[in-house]
Amino acid sequence: MAEYNVAPLLNLIDQFNRLPGIGRKTAQRLAYFVLKMPKDEAEKFSNAILDARNKIRYCKVCHNLTDEELCPVCRNSSRDKSIICVVEDPRDVMALERTGEFNATYHVLNGVISPLNGIGPDQLSIKELLDRINKSKVEEVIMATNPTVEGEATAMYISKLIKPLGVKVTRLAYGIPVGGDLEYADEVTLSRALAGRGEI
């Protein structure tokens, strides 16, 4: 490769290669695709990166991503501010919003407690959640962290802090996923589904 060195091309391949899950071959393919893009499309792509990086910040209330002071959910006066759904990640907000069933507010932790990765409670927006509960009339906090060991531990930790404040704390239901197959469900999920069975 010493011989064939077209700097701007190699540089673009390197840049793509740094993205998570993008190997050298894929990076090459993407770089060649960019070379064949119309000029204005390449400019749009380039600007989208700068724009997103420079304009997006955390919502002052719920720590979700936003391009204004408050995120669209917190800005919306028709949202029920007395219920807070606690999630790990902004992507979880997107997933919940897609259901179209939730009309209250969120609180984004931006991580989970994970001693192995050196992430303790102080690095998450837990203090801000407690402040929020203390300052406004919150009736229910729904713990919607992921059903993983770390997600569960984080949910337990936070619920222990919140309960003394006299707020109802709930957790998303466990059970078999809709469209799933009992045969392939793991034992823990199945026994939770059994334990949580309801009358029909």
Q: Is 184 a residue that touches its own copies (CB under 8 A)?
A: no
For the chain, the residue count is: 200
Partnered with residue 141 across adjacent β-strands are 84, 169
Q: Which of residues 52-71 bind its own copies (CB under 8 A)?
A: 52-56, 65-67, 71
The SS3 assignment for 167 reads coil
Nearest distance in Å: CB 7, its own copies? 6
Q: Considering only 45-53, 136-144, 158-166, 179-187, which stretch makes contact with its own copies by CB under 8 A?
A: 45-53
Nearest distance in Å: CB 179, its own copies? 18
The answer to whether the beta carbons of residues 109 and 154 sit under 8 Å apart is yes
Phi, psi for residue 24 in degrees, rounded to 5: -60, -45
Nearest distance in Å: CB 15, its own copies? 4
| Alpha-carbon gap, residue 82 to 104, rounded angstroms | 7
Q: Residues 99, 109, 144, 150: is their CA dihedral positive or negative?
A: positive
Nearest distance in Å: CB 125, its own copies? 15
- Residues of this chain that bind its own copies (CB under 8 A): 1, 3-9, 11-12, 14-15, 18-22, 26, 28-35, 37, 39, 42-56, 65-67, 71-73, 76, 90-91, 93-94, 97-98
